[in-house]
Every structure is written in C-alpha cells, then in structure tokens.
Structure 1
C-alpha cells in the first residue's frame, strides 16, 4: 500500500466526532499525504495533530459550488485561519455551463487570496463532465486562473489525460482504493491521490 499517495477522508461530512478522531489518529500513525475534513473540523484536526507537518485539506462553497463568491472568499479566509493547507472549491456547474466568465472571475479572486496566504487552491468537479470540449474548458479555467490542483470524481476518469498536461496536483475521489491502485502504479507522471473511506 502506497500510503504516501492517499489523502484520507471520512465517509460523509455528517459523520460524528468519533469518525473525525479516528481519522486524526490515522494521520498520526500512517505516512499519509494528508487528511481531508469539512471546514468545521479543520481547526480541531490541526490542534490535535499538534504542529504536525501533515497537510489538512478541506472543501468550501457547498456541495455543488453554488454559494456566492463572497461567501466562498469568507470561507476560504476562515479555512486558512484554522490551518488548512489545500482548500478545494466545487466548480459551480450551473454557472460554468451558463457563462464561463463568471467562473473565471471567481477562481481568480479565490486563487489570489489563497496564494497571498501561501496556501493552495484546488478546483473540484462535483458532477460528470459532459464531453471533451467541457474538459478542455475546465483545463483552460485552471491554467488561466492560478489553480493548483483538481479533484475528479470516479466517473470523470476518462478525462484524466486532459488534466495530466497541466502542472497541477490531480486527486481522484473514490471509496474503492483497489480500483485505482493499478493507476497509481502505472502512471507516475500524474499525482493521483484517492480519497478513501477509512472511517
């Protein structure tokens, strides 16, 4: 098991404190790449890990990225203040499919704030990409706006090669680690980090 490629996550944001404590304990005992928690638990994880160098990842802006940009900026500030290293923001697919310019403006503001505080900002694609053209548009959005990484769901794996061309961290979100283990072994050019249900 290549633990160094794994960002461990709880099953769902509604999990209780016991699940979060189990996750933190894993961070203490396994050579993980990082822990992913909801913004609510970031401060506790950082405190409990007691100045550990283990990066904390979180995601802001709501499940479908539909929160207002001003809300996302506030959430980003709080996540940074509480100690998150890499903050993901769901791509607002409704805005993306209506007017791509709205997403460009939003991610430019988010990346500028994150980089000013020396933190990473990632784009998370919450639903299925329609086609190759849409994948290319997302790739351009990343390239033009200083985004440091992307999180892809399992059903977007066929578009992986589009994002491998970018100099960013690629994270695959999955509950089935074994399904992606061969990809981790076969493709060393892209950093693929499964999120796994280890709670």
Structure 2
C-alpha cells in the first residue's frame, strides 16, 4: 500500500476549508507518506511550514477552478505560490480558448506558468475532460507537451465530472512517455485507484487518500 500512497496527491480544495483542516491534511499526508498535499494558494505557507521537514510536497492550484484567469495573473500566482513553498503547480487551461480554436493562446497560457515555475516546481495541466470533446482532449494534451508541462491532469473536480478510465487511456496514448498523467475527480476507493493506474495514471488526485490506503471508500467527489 505504500507504493499506492506515494502516487496520491492528498487534496482539500473546498472554498470553506479551514486552517485546522489543512493542517490535519498535512498530518495525514505525513503519516501515510502521500506524494503531496494539494491545497488552495492561500494555504501554501501554512502547509509548507507543516511539511518542510518531511518528504511530502506542497501542491497548489492556479487559475482554479475555471481556467479563465488572465495569463499574466496565472503566471504571477504560480510564481508567488512557489516563493511561499509550493513545489508542484496544478494549473487549469483556458478551456474557452481551446474550444474557440485559439490553440496558440492556450499553449502560451501553459507556457507562461511553466516559465514561472522554471525548474523550481512541477507543472500539471488540468484539461477538464468533462467539458471537452475527444479531439479537444487530444489537442489539449498535445499542447501541454509542447508547452513543457510535466503532467496532464483530467479534472478540477468542480465541473460536474471527474476522471474516467477512457480519458486516462486517451491522455496516456497522446502524451506517451513525454509527460505524465494525473487522474483526479471521483477516485474514492482502492479498486478505482488501481484501475486508474492500470489505465496509465502516474498520480492520483483525491480527497479520499486516507480512506483508499485504509481499504475504505471516501465520500468526496474530488
């Protein structure tokens, strides 16, 4: 189970999340040796302070959850989060731009965050699969590879859908070994987690990490 735990981003992104809950998340992540905690940007300093002497990384979200933030704002947000202790960045693409056929804008949006991260943090690109056609999913993944991202990620968990095995397989097929794949949204139990990994996921985003490694079923949609 330790190998599975090392693939989990232990997640708490609800807007009403309290400092106490985030610190509990950090404690659970250290106990189970999860890959990271994934929390909102305002909580990065507290999470970093709680985990700075552990192997657990601090991950935060950028342009979240809509992806419609200005590119310059996304880049600044990423830069600031990294300065405050984040070492992994999960950014939401400009979904509307992608669906409008503005591929250069989508790629430059990704590139700005990748450049802001420099070599200081991993960048995971959230393509929000539930809102995309199959061709749009393929294009988003290709653009993420071109932009120099480290991961493509299925979902925010806030758009009415989450990871599916079919989407993970599609994303893995498109990116091959060039970047990694993160499945998030709806991964609530060990069986689903293992199925996502079998389909090609290298990382799992879930608020049910503790339940998964304990052989139980979580309740959150993320």
Do both proteins adopt the same fold according to a TM-score greater than 0.5, normalized to the shorter chain?
Answer: yes
1:18-167 equivalences in 2 (<5 Å): 18-98=20-100, 99-115=102-118, 117-126=119-128, 128-153=130-155, 154-165=162-173, 166=175, 167=178
For the 8 Å contact 2:57–2:88, the answer to whether it is kept is yes
Structure 1: which 5+ runs fail to align?
Answer: none
Q: Distance in 2 between matches of 1:155 and 1:120?
A: 21
Shift of 1:95: 1.3
Match of 2:17 in 1: 15
Q: Distance in 1 between matches of 2:107 and 2:13?
A: 31
Q: Distance in 2 between matches of 1:119 and 1:21?
A: 22
Q: Distance in 2 between matches of 1:79 and 1:132?
A: 32
For the 8 Å contact 1:27–1:35, the answer to whether it is kept is yes
1:63 counterpart SS class: coil
Distance 1:185 1:92, change over 3 A: closer
Shift of 1:72: 0.8
Q: Distance in 1 between matches of 2:127 and 2:5?
A: 24
Q: Distance in 1 between matches of 2:78 and 2:89?
A: 7
2:59 counterpart SS class: strand
Number of residue pairs aligned between Structure 1 and Structure 2: 197
Match of 1:171 in 2: 182
For the 8 Å contact 2:26–2:51, the answer to whether it is kept is yes
Structure 2: which 5+ runs fail to align?
Answer: 156-161, 211-219
Distance 1:126 1:186, change over 3 A: closer
Normalising to structure 1: TM-score of the pair? Answer: 0.88
Q: Distance in 2 between matches of 1:62 and 1:184?
A: 23
Aligned Cα root-mean-square deviation (Å): 2.2
Shift of 1:108: 1.7
Match of 2:198 among 180, 183, 186: 186
Shift of 1:172: 1.4
Distance 1:10 1:108, change over 3 A: closer
More contact order relative to length (CA 8 Å, sep ≥ 6): 1
Shift of 1:190: 3.7
For the 8 Å contact 2:11–2:207, the answer to whether it is kept is yes
